[in-house]
Every structure is written in C-alpha cells, then in structure tokens.
Structure 1
C-alpha cells in the first residue's frame, strides 16, 4: 500500500523542519564559537595592552628620558652605549641617555591606537633628542633600535590615510634619522666597505677601535638605511649598506655558508662556525625582507642560495645545529632563543609545514621551563651552564604571530595566551617587567629591555588584534618596526605581491587585509618557460645524499616555496615536487 498524500505531506514537513532545525542549531553553534573566539581575542588583547602600559608607564615614571628601565629598583640605565658591549668597555662619562625606550615604543603606541601619546612623544623627541653626544655605540644595535624606530615612526606620522598626528609635523623625526645616518657613514670608511661594529656618535671611529664584527652586524643594515635613502632621496645610505652586504656575500664559502665573526679591515673570517642564531640570524632575515621591501632580485638570489645551504647543512629534523662554513660539518648542537625567529622567516617563503614543526619544538621548550632559555644543549639535553637567562625576548611570539596570520589556526592563539600568562606570572613586578636571570629558579634581573615594548608586546597584541594590519602591507624590521611595502620603492614589484598571483587569497576583502606575513613569496624562478615535466628543487630543500638529512615521511618535507604546494617524500628519501607545466 502506498502512503496517503496527507501522510507524505506530514513526513515532508517533518523532514523539512528537521533540516531547518538542524541548520539553525549548527549556525547557532558556529555563531557561538565565533562569538567565543572574538570575546577571547578581545580579552587577550586587553591583557596585552595592560602589559604594555605597565612597562611603558613605569619607564616614563622612573627612567625617562634615560634609555631603559630597571624595574626592580625603579631606576634607569643609559644602556645605548652598553648594548652588545659585553665587557662594558669605553663607557661614556657624561652620557645621559637618548630616550631609547620611548623611541622603541613609538610604533607600538600606534599599533595600540594611542595616537595622543604617539604625538606627544614625537613632539618631545623633535625638541629634545640629539645625537651629538660623546658616546660609543654599537652600529647594529643603534641601527635597528634608533634609526629603525625613527624611520618607522616618521612613516606613521606622515600617513595621510590615518593622520596619527594632528599638529604641524615638519619631518622632524626624519631629520633626526638623517643626522644619525650621516654619523653611521663614518663606520663604512674601511678598505673592504665592511663597517666597524662601533662608532662614537660625536667623533666617529675611535683610535685603535676593534676591527671585529659579526655577520649580522654588517649584513643587517639594508632595511633601515635603504628606507632612509628612499625617504630622503639621498642614495648614499643604501649604497654603503648594499656595498657591505655584497662584500659579505662574496666571502661565503663554496657551500654558500657564512661564518659568525670577521675582520672588517682584512676582510677575513675569525669564527668559521655558523648557524641561524646569535651573530647571523638577522642576516638571513634581512635578505628576504629586503627583497619584499625593495623588489631587487639580487636579494632573492642571495637568500635563495643561503636558505638552501641552511636547510642542507644546519637542519636536523625540526632543529637547526651549527656547522663549519668550510666543510658543513656539525660543530655545536644547541638551541638558542634567537633561533625562534626562524619559523616566522619560513612563513615569508611559504615553508609552512617546516615552520610549524620548528615552532612547536620551541614552544615545548617554553612549556618545560616557563620561558625560553637563552641556550639549550641539544646533544646533552641540558641547559647551558652559564646562559640560563631569558631577557624578555620576542622571537617566539613573533613566529607565533606569523604562523597564525598564515594559517588562522586558533592553536597559535593558545600559544600566545600561554606566553602572556608566563610573562605575567614570572616577569611582572611592581616596577615593570624584569628579565629572568636563571630559568631554573626564576630569579629576576633588574633590566627591562626596550625590545619588550618594541617587539614582545607588539607581536602578542597583533596576534589577538590585527586591526593595525587591515588594508596595509607591512614588513617588520628585526626590532619590530613596521615599514610599508610600496610600489614606489620597488625596482620591480615581486609577483607574489600583485593581486593576480594571490592564488591563496579567496576574496577581494581578504586581499585588502593581507599582510607580508600572510602573503608567502613564491617566485616561480625555476620554470624557465619549459613545457615538459621536470623536477623542481624548492627553496626549502635540495636533494641530499647524507642519510641523516633524508626524509622518511611527507610531513618532513613541508611546502614548496616556488609553488606553495605540499612536497612529498620519494621512495629514495628525497623531498620534491614533480610538476607538469602546460
């Protein structure tokens, strides 16, 4: 017997009701999840905001206009002349600081939306800051902290779309930056073009000054000095930085590896062991970021070769050890906290899986100790006996932000929450935030570094509130100062930054919100116009005959940076991607 029409009608309406009810419940559940996530972001961003102002207000109360805050004693230190000066040699007698932490905080104030305080700081610096002081400073540290802070803040101050400054701004910060850049030029007066690591801001390079510098020290100047040239129209700042970078690159070994320290007069290496940590880290970072900022293919070619070499000779699973630049033989098996920037760099080249793998290992170490120790001996599974400290470094927070921007995986917000909670639990004191002297006892040290406000707080805030990035495309310097990616600054805009090539951007709305940390650079440099099938070696991995570097699973191979496609592990144990190009 067939069911009656009325029965069919009843069942039809019942089924329709169930579908509507189920859809409604699902939508309500999804809305609830979205609401909870938005509420969580709001709560955490406010928590980070309070962290920043606890550090900033205490600096302004107890240390300003000196360089940095000593939070335990609520006093100050004029530390610009001490940065990188491990032996505290040649300290000035009459130096009273350069408001270093205020300069470092300028872009963070804009990120947090405090335009009133930003404007007040700009006017104070315009009227009071001078570099005509008898103080010996680190070229590298002064470049990334002071010059970078001033250049970035000038760009923000002149942003016609945002109007962060309501008064009459007449390029005062740019004038200060140019005065500082002019003083930097003294350091480059060497037979090699490699700059001295130390200069006196008033008198230039001092007699009998050391000729030793680091790879980072002479290879991480191009962003700030290049931006200064673009803003002033005077090419000399970029020219000397570029000459130094080219000389440094010419000193690489046949393996495309560079050492850690060198002599700027002789043009010879002093320390042959190298890695991706202290003394070298920002060299790699500035090659890829200079390519993004200025569009010069020369930077990509350098980075591509250097990155291949890192993956071949330093990488061991998710970790990166150090190796001799001449032989590629492993030297030191250790984790250093500065290495935690590397996953963020890998996001810029599209190697997302590899970035995630290393990031998770760093976070496991963070969870184990509560913070990230300065140095951990991987081969002995123990802390370095003399480097057990954590000076409020930002690198893990930085990579967490990049990975979240690239993947939108909420797990990274959980990582950020853990970092925030640890900082508040272990380092917050009445007078600010103090560095950790020993991670095994959480004994504190009386120092609040300026990069805590310039980077650590900024990256954590952007993780939970990225409204500053909406409609903008910035790259961040190694000190966290934003520089905009502009067509006018490019020799040729990389294809990855033109809308037609944003294959992973789903809508125009998303494209407008995209930033340099979510737009992976994937230049198709290896196709060569061919139309046959062939093997592409990615920027993330080359075929390697050494058994300890060969892959065993697809997950070890990550994402191909020339196509942004997932790589696979072949039967022979090599990572790669077979392309058939129409």
Structure 2
C-alpha cells in the first residue's frame, strides 16, 4: 500500500530537482507568459482526463471512439510518458495517480512483440525520470523529512531494474549489438540479423543512468558495447562522410551493411545522443562529443541544401552512399535543437547559429500548410545541383505552385502529434531569449489544438494541407504527453532547474522522449567543469 501522499511525493520530487544547484548569473533573459502556459496545461488536462477515463492502464487513447490501444505492450505507456510533464506543470493529482500506478505494472508479461528502443525511451526513460527523486545522496539528507516511507519510492527503481533485466536478453548476440525485437514470457530475442543505428544508439543514456543509480555497471556496459560499433564503424563504406553513418549493422559482427542515412527516422537519435551523453558526463563521454562534432561538421560541409524556389531556407539532405537525397521529415526537425544544444554545451556559437537556420527552415514547413502544421515527409529541388540530375527532380506538377511559394513539397501529409519542430523552437528560445520563438511555439500549439482536438482528447490527422486536417486517425500518441505538451509548456513557463540553460549550468538532459535525466554527479575526487 502506498504511503506517499500527493503533497509529500511532489515536494520530494521538486526539491530533488532543485537540490544542490549553485546560483549562477545568467545573461539570457526569459519571459513568462502565464496565459499561454495555462492554455497548454488545460490541453494536458483534457488529454489526461480522456485517457484516464477510457484507456488508463492501457497504452494509448483512441479519442474519436473513446477506446484504447495497447501499442506499447499494454503497460500504460501514456501514464508513464505523462509523468514528467505533469510534474513540471504541477498537476499533483495526476502525479500522485501515476506514482500509485507504477509499482502495479507487470513488466514480466505482454502478449505483443517488445521493441528494445521504444521500451527504453518511453518506459525505462520515464521510470528513471521518476528515480531521480530518491537519488541516494538525498534519501538520508535534507529530503528525508519529506519521505513517508523510503521503500515505496525505491520500488520505482526496482521496477526500472526489473524491466531492464527482462530486456537484457537483447544483447546476447555474438557482437553485443542488441536485437531490437524481443518477446517476453519468457524474455527471448526475435531473431533479427541486423539493427539500426537509432535503435542501437538511443539506449546509452537510459542504461548508463540506470547503472549510475543502481551501482550496477552491467546495464551501462551492455548499451555501451553496442554503441562502440557506431563510434568505430566498420567497414569504411559504412561511413560515407566523416561521422555520418549508414543505417543498419549486423548482429553477428557489428559491421555496417549499408551506407544510407540522414538525420531522420531510423538514424536520428543516434546523433542526438552523442552530444547528450557528453552533457550527461563530460569526463566519461568525451569520445561521444568528438563523434558529434565530426557528424555536425560533416553535415554542414556536405549536407546543407537550399531549395531552388526559396534559397534562403536551409535543410539537411539525406544520403545513399555519397549521393544526396533532397528529402526530409518532421522527425528530422529536431536537428535544429540538437545543433543549438551542441553549440551551448561546447561554447561554439557557430553550431548554435547553424541550428537556428535549421529551425527557420522547419518553421516554414508549418506556416506554409493549410492547417499551419508541418507534414510527416517533404522534399525540394536543390539549388546547387544540376536541375536535370536523377537525384534532383522538380516538384510534381500538382504541387508546383505550392513549391514555388513554400520551398518544399509534401510527400506524406500526415501529422501524428509529433514534437520535433516545437522542440527546436524551445531550444532556440532557451539559447537566445528571443520571444519570436515563443510566438512560433504558441502559433504551432494553437494550430495543433484547433485541428487535432476531437472527442475525448487529441488525434493524429491525415493531411496537414487540407482544411481541418483531412480526417482523424483516432489515435493519441503517448509522446503527445511527454514531448509536445511539455515543450509547448516549458517555453512559456518560469525558469526552473529542469529548463535548458544557456550558461553551462544544466542539471538535467532530456532523453529523446523528453524525460529529464539528472546529469551525473562527479565521482569521488572529480570535479565537473562548466
């Protein structure tokens, strides 16, 4: 039986966020817009109420039909993903409900295939976000008066370990590169022969954090072994540009089987986590920093592309070997925020400035459509390449006029409640303090709110370039809670220890699902330079 009250549990969590953060003068000024922040909180409450009424303990709400889906193994993905957002919004009743639910999850049982990647970023990331509250250096320190029963708080870390212990079988391969596809009852691999760099390279933050919290190095060692093949790619054809990799490697030996890639789906968060691992611990992960710098410099040198009709816009191309593909995705629009974070972390303004250019390009994908929301996939004709090249075709005839004014055309018009554009607005604002990024985030949120609000929540839509969105998919993604609503709120909210900092004082780093992970504390005899 839980013995942490809502007030007690929340006080514990908030104080642990702010504990031991020395005051530093910040030159970047931020403005609070309470009305906008409250409007986002209202959207969160609508989404939570619908989920709690019709889908709680299941993964996702179907808001049009008031049904549910168990698309993430039936462990309550939306509840876990909603926790950190409820916390920063001070939605105490929701926080307490989720805290009560977490120990009830049966991570030993599911009837569906388990994705190592999705389970790590959503569930393990969410649980580790919970476990920063009872960090062991605080349990017997200044927070002990706020803890009613330590065993209840520690049960969350036990759940994280229980889940990871079931997932560990993924790494039982000849190379140590994990199989992303698993089955439970009992835990076993799915029999894949390859895995992708995103689904290998987006484990290290969560699994390293679990080791740091549990004092068990096995979790970190497993994830870092798989990552090592991406830090030292073989054969050379797997790295067509310095630091920029192919997509898939063999589980048998960790060798790349292709040289196709980009900053989009299937590869994106590998690059994202390189700089985030360095932010997490600058002492242990300097090599990750170096690989991010290599990838960032190569992207600027080789991938930058400007559309023929809007040459002032900047996008990053994808690649097949050394041949560029002038196509990108909503998913890839996190890249502006990632370059900005890299610039802040490394004190290199050139990366920040380049990131802001990428943000400008992704902003255009929103403002150009009928709904004011960006599409899932878009393409353009590159201004620097021959216009008759086979990899540089013109816009389709039925989108020529749209391309002329917008600088891109739409190849997939879905919007599935993705966060990446608003995420990059958030990083741009925290880096510059320029209120235009708050305005852009608010405009995007308003368009999403008016287009995707339906039934008992918010739904993905079929066509961003049709008024009203062209119909609903009847699905409210769990990352709507974790990411879209969190970034939309934080950009207007008061400064706090979990906010991204422009002055090298970050105490948290966000995983790819926007769960804040506390940066590693210095080990005995070490200091962290900032």
Report the Cα distance in structure 2 between the residues aligned to 1:491 and 1:467, rounded to whole angstroms: 31
Q: Secondary structure at the match of 2:265?
A: coil
SS in 2 for 1:376: strand
* Alignment partner, residue 222 of structure 2: 240
Q: State the match for 1:359 in structure 2.
A: 359
Q: Give the one of 329, 343, 357 matched to 2:323.
A: 329
Deviation at 1:343, TM superposition (A): 1.1
Alignment check: 8 A CA contact 1:230 1:489 kept: no
Is 2:97 the partner of 1:120? yes
- CA–CA distance in structure 1, aligned partners of residues 106 and 261 of structure 2: 38
Cα deviation for residue 201 of structure 1 reads 2.9
Using the TM superposition, give the Cα deviation of residue 468 of structure 1 relative to its aligned residue in structure 2, in angstroms: 3.6
One of 189, 192, 200 as aligned partner of 1:218: 200
CA distance in 1, matches of 2:443, 2:106: 38
Return closer, same or farther for 1:139/1:164 CA change in 2, 3 Å cut-off: farther
**Partner SS state of residue 203, structure 1:** coil
1:301-320 CA distances to partner (integer Å, 9 max, x unpaired)? 22222222222222225210
How far apart are the structure 2 equivalents of 1:312 and 1:491? 40
1:163 and 1:391 map into 2 onto residues whose CA distance is 42
| Kept after mapping to 1: 8 A contact 2:229/2:255 | no
- 2:346 aligned partner: none
Higher relative contact order (CA 8 A, sep 6+): 2
Counterpart position of 1:105: 82
What corresponds to 1:201 in structure 2?
Answer: 184
Instruction: Tell me by how many angstroms 1:165 deviates.
Output: 7.2
Normalising by structure 1, what TM-score?
0.71
Decide which of 449, 452, 465 is 2:477's aligned counterpart. Answer: 449
Q: Is the 8 A contact 1:390 1:437 kept in 2?
A: yes
Partner residue in 2 for 1:172: 155
Q: Tell me whether 1:487 sits opposite 2:511 in the alignment.
A: no
User: Shift in Å at residue 166 of structure 1?
Assistant: 5.4
* Equivalent in the alignment of 2:112: 135
CA RMSD of aligned residues (A): 2.4
CA offsets 1:423-473 (integer angstroms, 9 cap, x no match):
111001131000012223312211100000001000110000044437962
Q: How big is the shift at 1:153? A: 1.2
Question: Conserved in 2, the CA contact under 8 Å of 1:157 and 1:163?
Answer: no
- Tell me by how many angstroms 1:412 deviates: 0.6
Q: Which residue in the other structure is 2:348 paired with?
A: none
Residues paired across the two proteins, number: 440
1:9 is aligned to none
Of 258-267 and 421-430, deviating more is 258-267
The Cα offsets for residues 341-371 of structure 1, whole Å up to 9 and x where unpaired, read as 1111111222222111111111111011211
Q: Which residue is equivalent to 1:319?
A: 315
Label 1:165 to 1:419 Cα distance change in 2 as closer, same or farther (>3 A).
farther
- Once the two structures are TM-superposed, the CA of residue 372 in structure 1 deviates from its matched residue by 1.2
- Bigger Rg, structure 1 or 2: 1
Aligned-partner SS, 2:245: coil
The unaligned stretches of length 5 or more in structure 1 are: 1-33, 82-96, 498-582
Which residue of structure 2 aligns with residue 302 of structure 1?
Answer: 291
Match in the other structure for 2:419 = 394
Does 2:487 correspond to 1:459?
yes
What corresponds to 2:502 in structure 1? none
Q: For the residues of structure 2 that align with 1:78 and 1:420, how far apart are their CA atoms?
A: 27
